[in-house]
Amino acid sequence: MRAVDIIARKRDGFPLTKEEIEFFVKGSVEGSIPDYQISAWLMAVYLKGMTIRETVDLTLAMAFSGEVLDLKEVAPLTVDKHSTGGVGDKTTLVIAPIVASLGLPIAKMSGRGLSFSGGTIDKLESIRGYRVDLSVEEFKRQVSEHGIVVSGQTAQLAPADAKFYALRDVTATVPSLPLIASSIMSKKIAAGTDVLVLDVKVGKGAFMKTLEDAKNLARLMVDIGRDVGKRVSAVIADMNQPLGLAVGNALEVKEAIDTLQGRGPQDFVEHCIVVAAEIVRLAGKARDSRQARSMVEKALKEGKAWEKFVEWIEAQGGDRAVVEDPSLLPQARYQEPLLSPRSGYISELNAMEVGMAAVILGAGREKKGEPIDHSVGIVLHKKIGNYVEKNEPLLTIYANDLSRLEEARKRLLGAFSWSEMEPSPPPLIYEVIR
């Protein structure tokens, strides 16, 4: 078999066999297929697509390209969630302790933010001492002792994805359904959990811009999961405007803490309840969605989820004092309101623009590996559907550098549109795919 023939077959629109896909993935990881051939193949897949059968074969070849965790040794059933990313998406910080407090061990590997989209690992690093680099042994021990762990992706798991993703990033081949689905699901299969709820975001601040694409991606990932014997479902959620009010690492940790203490913004609380309840239902802890929801609401209301959060952060090396007193989180030097230039209803609040403003302030990175500033970001005071008077604050900018603050201010102003008529806000959840 030769890599060049496999590239040519995909270029000409033919489906690849399981053997061809396995040969290509193996050669990519071992280094016998050079980056220029992998890049050409990725572009051919991007342009010609893949059948479901090819996508399943690709996912499995990627999942088994490295170590595959066996969590059965530490817990009979483990759960996981995965968000396809967005702006203000601090959901793991709330959902993980909720489900763990209900007796469902959650074992999660998370990523860092890139471009407008934030990452859970960056957020958690705002907490002094929190370790994101657990070894596989430490990861398993924490699941067994505390029923909750959130660490960075280890290099041993699905190395084919790391290789492909780095090349996709620089060859304009990220937004491809089979490549995204295989990238996400290969890591999830290698991480060894039994139950997975996918939080597929759609809209201006998400990878998927249309509901149709989001549904297709969700269905594809649910099908792949079912094929390998996992219980998987997907929640399709809006990401046209940021989720909650806070955007930026320490600011989002604070909002998660507020939420666990019963003071979260309504949209964010509702989103966390829906996803957590879906995990509880899918794991078989509840009879139906209604019972799952009431269990989740109770865990939040009675403080069980908050207690689990503190236990988790401390077990993973984080300073308990910081989460008990969020004023000890990194703080930005400047706090400046952005005033509304006119009165009216907010009709648009572009999540991607808010995410890019956060990157300008230093909360995110343009290129992998760049350092970030955990203290900076944005806290919204108005969202779509709210009325604002002229000169009333739309949001507060948290910055450490005045020139970046000015640049972010301009970008943020462009994120808003106003209307005379009251618009209806976008729905929070579009559909749950099971």
Is residue 120 a contact residue for ligand URA (CB under 6 A)?
A: no
Minimum CB separation of residue 207 from ligand URA in Å reads: 6
Stretch that binds ligand URA, among 12-20, 177-185, 254-262, 313-321 (CB under 6 A): 177-185
3-state SS string over the chain?
CCHHHHHHHHHCCCCCCHHHHHHHHHHHHHCCCCHHHHHHHHHHHHHHCCCHHHHHHHHHHHHCCCECCCHHHCCCCCEEEEECCCCCCCCHHHHHHHHHHCCCCEEEEECCCECCECCHHHHHCCCCCCCCCCCHHHHHHHHHHHCEEEEECCCCECHHHHHHHHHHHHCCCCCCHHHHHHHHHHHHHHHCCCEEEEEEEECCCCCECCHHHHHHHHHHHHHHHHHCCCEEEEEEEECCCCCCCEECHHHHHHHHHHHHCCCCCHHHHHHHHHHHHHHHHHCCCCCCHHHHHHHHHHHHHCCHHHHHHHHHHHHCCCCHHHHHCHHHCCCCCEEEEEECCCCEEEEEECHHHHHHHHHHHCCCCCCCCCCCCCCCEEEECCCCCCEECCCCEEEEEEECCHHHHHHHHHHHHCCEEEECCCCCCCCCEEEEEC
Residue (113 or 147) nearer to ligand URA, CB: 113
Q: Select from 7, 124, 184, 221 the one that contacts ligand URA (CB under 6 A).
A: 184
CB 365 within 8 A of CB 122: no
CB of 405 to ligand URA, least distance (A): 30
Q: Which of 10, 81, 82, 201 is catalytic?
A: 82
Site for ligand URA in 64-93 (CB under 6 A): 84
Beta bridge partners of 106: 79, 148
**Residue 212 or 324 with smaller CB distance to ligand URA:** 212
Closest to ligand URA by CB, 109 vs 296, is: 109
Q: To the nearest whole angstrom, how small is the minimum distance from the Cβ of residue 433 to ligand URA?
A: 17
As measured in angstroms, the least distance from the Cβ of 3 to ligand URA is: 22
Q: Which lies closer to ligand URA via its Cβ, residue 101 or residue 183?
A: 183
Nearer to ligand URA, 179 or 397 (CB): 179
**Segment contacting ligand URA by CB under 6 A, of 52-60, 98-106, 178-186, 240-248:** 178-186
Annotated catalytic residue, options 10, 112, 140, 187:
187
Of residues 86 and 362, the one with the C-beta less far from ligand URA: 86
What is the total residue count of the chain? 434
Alpha carbons 423 and 415: distance in angstroms, whole number? 16
Selecting among 123, 168, 374, 409, the annotated active-site residue is 168
Binding range to ligand URA, per CB under 6 A, among 179-187, 214-222, 298-306, 351-359: 179-187
Contact pattern from residue 189 through residue 228 relative to ligand URA, giving x for each residue in contact according to CB under 6 A and a dash for the rest: ------------------x---------------------
Closest separation in Å from C-beta 277 to ligand URA: 24
Among candidate residues 57, 89, 122, 161, the one labeled active-site is: 161
Q: CB nearer to ligand URA: give 91 or 183.
A: 183
Give 202 or 277: the residue with its C-beta nearer to ligand URA.
202
Q: Is residue 101 within the footprint of ligand URA (CB under 6 A)? A: no
Taking the CB of residue 199, how many other CB atoms lie within 10 A of it?
Answer: 27
- How many residues sit in the footprint of ligand URA (CB under 6 A)? 7
Please answer whether residues 24 and 18 qualify as being in contact, where contact means their C-beta atoms are separated by less than 8 angstroms. no
Residue nearest to ligand URA (CB): 183
| Catalytic (active site) residue 161 | yes
Question: Which of these, 244, 261, 266, lies nearest to 378 by C-alpha position?
Answer: 244
**Alpha-carbon Rg for the chain in angstroms:** 22
180 forms part of the interface with ligand URA (CB under 6 A): yes
Q: Is 168 a catalytic residue?
A: yes
Minimum distance of ligand URA from residue 42's CB (angstroms): 11
Please tell me which residue in 101, 110, 117, 183 is annotated as part of the active site. 183
Shortest separation between residue 179's beta carbon and ligand URA, angstroms: 6
| Nearest-approach distance from CB 150 to ligand URA, in angstroms | 15
Catalytic (active site) residue 82? yes
Residues 73, 176: Cα–Cα separation, whole Å: 36
What CA–CA distance (Å, rounded) separates 115 from 398?
Answer: 18
Interface ranges with ligand URA (CB under 6 A): 84, 174, 179-180, 183-184, 207
Q: Which residues are catalytic?
A: 82, 161, 168, 183, 187
